[in-house]
Amino acid sequence: MRIAKYFLYLIVTVSVSAVLFSACSKKNSAPDYNSNKTSLGKLVDSLTQVYSAAVEGSNPETTPSARRRSSKTALDLAAQVKTGKYTQEEVNNTYNSLLLVGQQFNSQLIQEVSVAKSCRPVEI
């Protein structure tokens, strides 16, 4: 009976060890560079058109020069990801970052301020 318990304990220990070590083994699998870049390509093309149409300046309906430079840098980097060898996760991260840059670019457009709103007389 003792030998059977010892043998059963040995089998269970070896089985559990094998499962744990096989689950923790590091496989050197190559990253998958076969990623879908169509949505990234459309976003890059769209924001390139918006960037090209935007006028740089400090007058109403223009874009500050610093915002244009940072947007151009983001577009250039996204274009490299679009044509390069990157994983789907990297493509998705680039897409989300570029989407945020596009939203910030559009929000930085200098708006025209109405004189009637900015110069109201103060009633005493």
| Statement: residue 92 has pLDDT above 90 | yes
H-assigned helices in 54-87: 65-83
Higher-pLDDT residue of 122 and 32 is: 32
CATH 2.60.120.10, applies to 38-118? no
Tell me the pLDDT tens digit for each residue of 43-82: 999 999 988 887 777 776 677 777 778 888 999 999 999 9
Q: Residue 19: what pLDDT? A: 58
Q: Residue 38: what pLDDT? A: 93
Distance CA 45, CA 62 (A): 21
- Residue ranges per domain, the chain? 38-118
Q: Residue 105: what pLDDT? A: 80
Q: Could you tell me the pTM of the whole model?
A: 0.62
